[in-house]
C-alpha cells in the first residue's frame, strides 16, 4: 500500500464512508448501437452533488431476480455485490435526474448485461461520485482521447471547457453510427476513428497523436480507454513530450481479457 492510499484509507475510516444509495431506473435506451444510456431518478438522489460530471462512481450490480429490499439489505453488510466503475455523464439538479452511459459489450460483463436489460423500476447500488477528472482548465491547448468506455469522461470534460478552448479530440468507436452529439468548443479539432472489434489491440489513436503537429504551450490531457493503448500513450506523453504530471489525466478503464477486479489488481501492482 502506498503512503497516499494509507492516508486515504485512514481518512475514510475516520470520517466513515457514506452508505451507497440504491438508485432506480427512470428510463434506459440505446443511445447508439453500442452504448446504452440509463437515466436514474427518485428520492434517493436527494442531495446529489452538482458539478461532478466526469467524476467516477462505483456501481453495485444486483443478482438476477434479486428484490430491491433484499439487495438494499445486502448493501448494509451482507455478501458484497459485483462492483464496477462508471462515470457521471450528467446530473440535472432541476429534474433530479442522473445519467450514466454504459458500453454494450455483451452479456459476459455483469454491468454491461444489467444495462442492456435495464427498464424503468430496475435498481442498482451507487457510491460516489468523485471530483471531475479535469477540475480546472488552464492550458493553451487540450488533448482528449477516448475509446467508448471513456466517451462519458471525455464528453463531460469537453462540455465543461471554456468555449474558446483549443485542441484536439480523438474518439475511437465501434461503428460510424456510434458517433455521438457532444457540445464541443469550436476550436477543438475532432476526429472519429472506427475500430470494429474492441478486443483487437488498436494503434490508431496513438498513431494519430504521434502525427500531430504538436502546438507550443501548456497542454492538459483527458485520455482514457483500453489499458494497452493507455500504457503506450502514457510513456509517449511523459518521456517524449514532457507533459507535466499535474496536467495529465490518463487512465486505463478496462483491459482486454480481464474482468474489472483483475484489471484493478494489475493497476494497483503497477502503481506500486
Ligand atoms: C474511472 C473509470 C470510469 C469508467 N467509466 C465508464 C463509463 O462511464 N462507461 C463505461 O461503459 N465504462 C466505464 N468504465 C469501464 C468499465 O468500468 C469497464 O468496462 C468494466 O469492466 C465494465 O464491467 P462489466 O461488468 O461490463 O465487464 P467485466 O465483468 O469487468 O468484464 C467482462 C469482459 O468484458 C471485457 N470488457 C470490459 N469492458 C469492456 C469494454 N468497454 N469493451 C469491450 N470489452 C470490455 C473484459 O475485458 C472482460 O473480458 C470506467 C472505468 C474506470 C476505471
Query: Is residue 85 within 6 Å of ligand 1 at its C-beta?
Result: yes
Query: Is residue 132 within 6 Å of ligand 1 at its C-beta?
Result: no
Site to substitute for ligand 1 among 254, 257, 260, most atoms within 8 A of C-beta: 254
Is 150 in the same domain as 123? no
Count of domains for the chain? 2
Among protein residues, the one with the nearest Cα to ligand 1's atom 5 is 86
Supply the pLDDT for residue 270.
Answer: 84
Question: Is the peptide bond prior to 129 cis by the omega test (within 30 degrees of 0)?
Answer: yes
CA distance 157 to 97: 19
Last-in-domain residue among 93, 127, 161: 127
Per-residue pLDDT band for 19 (boundaries 50, 70, 90) equals confident
Is 145 in the same domain as 110? no
CA distance 270 to 112: 26
Supply the pLDDT for residue 17.
Answer: 58
Per-residue pLDDT band for 223 (boundaries 50, 70, 90) equals very high
Does position 46 have pLDDT exceeding 80, yes or no? yes
Q: Which domain range does residue 113 map to?
A: 3-127
66 domain-assigned: yes
- Give the containing element (helix H, strand E) for 69: helix 68-75
35 domain-assigned: yes
Q: Mind listing the pLDDT tens digit for each residue in 93-121?
A: 999 999 999 999 999 999 999 999 999 99
CATH classification of the domain holding 158:
3.40.50.80
Q: What percent of the chain has pLDDT over 90?
A: 89
Taking the CB of residue 153, how many other CB atoms lie within 10 A of it?
29
Nearest Cα residue to 53 out of 125, 112, 133:
133
Is 187 in the same domain as 65? no
Last-in-domain residue among 84, 101, 127: 127
Is 167 in the same domain as 222? yes
187 domain-assigned: yes
CATH classification of the domain holding 97:
2.40.30.10
Is 172 in the same domain as 54? no
135 domain-assigned: no
134 domain-assigned: no
Amino acid at each position: 500500500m502506498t503512503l497516499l492510499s494509507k492516508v486515504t484509507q485512514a481518512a475514510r475510516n475516520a470520517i466513515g464512508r457514506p452508505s451507497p444509495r440504491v438508485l432506480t431506473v427512470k428510463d434506459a435506451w440505446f443511445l447508439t448501437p453500442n452504448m446504452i444510456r440509463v437515466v436514474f431518478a427518485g428520492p434517493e438522489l436527494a442531495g446529489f452533488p452538482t458539478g461532478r460530471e466526469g467524476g467516477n462512481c462505483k456501481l453495485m450490480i444486483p443478482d438476477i431476480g434479486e428484490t430491491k429490499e433484499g439487495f438494499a439489505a445486502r448493501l448494509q453488510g451482507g455478501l458484497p455485490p459485483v462492483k464496477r466503475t462508471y462515470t457521471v455523464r450528467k446530473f440535472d439538479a432541476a429534474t433530479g435526474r442522473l445519467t450514466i452511459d454504459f458500453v454494450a459489450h455483451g452479456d459476459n460483463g455483469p454491468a454491461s448485461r444489467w444495462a442492456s436489460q435495464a427498464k424503468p423500476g430496475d435498481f442498482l447500488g451507487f457510491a460516489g461520485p468523485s471530483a471531475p477528472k479535469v477540475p480546472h482548465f488552464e492550458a493553451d491547448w487540450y488533448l482528449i482521447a477516448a475509446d467508448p468506455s471513456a466517451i462519458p469522461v471525455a464528453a463531460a470534460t469537453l462540455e465543461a471547457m471554456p468555449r474558446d478552448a483549443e485542441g484536439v479530440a480523438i474518439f475511437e468507436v465501434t461503428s460510424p453510427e456510434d458517433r455521438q452529439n457532444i457540445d464541443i468548443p469550436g476550436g477543438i479539432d475532432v476526429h472519429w476513428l472506427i475500430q470494429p472489434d474492441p478486443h483487437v489491440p488498436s494503434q490508431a489513436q496513438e498513431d494519430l497523436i504521434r502525427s500531430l503537429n504538436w502546438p507550443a504551450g501548456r497542454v492538459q490531457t483527458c485520455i482514457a480507454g483500453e489499458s494497452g493503448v493507455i500504457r503506450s500513450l502514457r510513456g509517449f506523453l511523459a518521456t517524449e513530450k514532457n507533459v507535466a504530471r499535474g496536467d495529465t489525466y490518463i487512465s486505463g478503464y478496462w483491459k482486454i481479457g480481464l474482468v474489472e477486479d483483475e484489471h484493478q489488481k494489475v493497476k494497483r501492482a503497477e502503481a506500486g
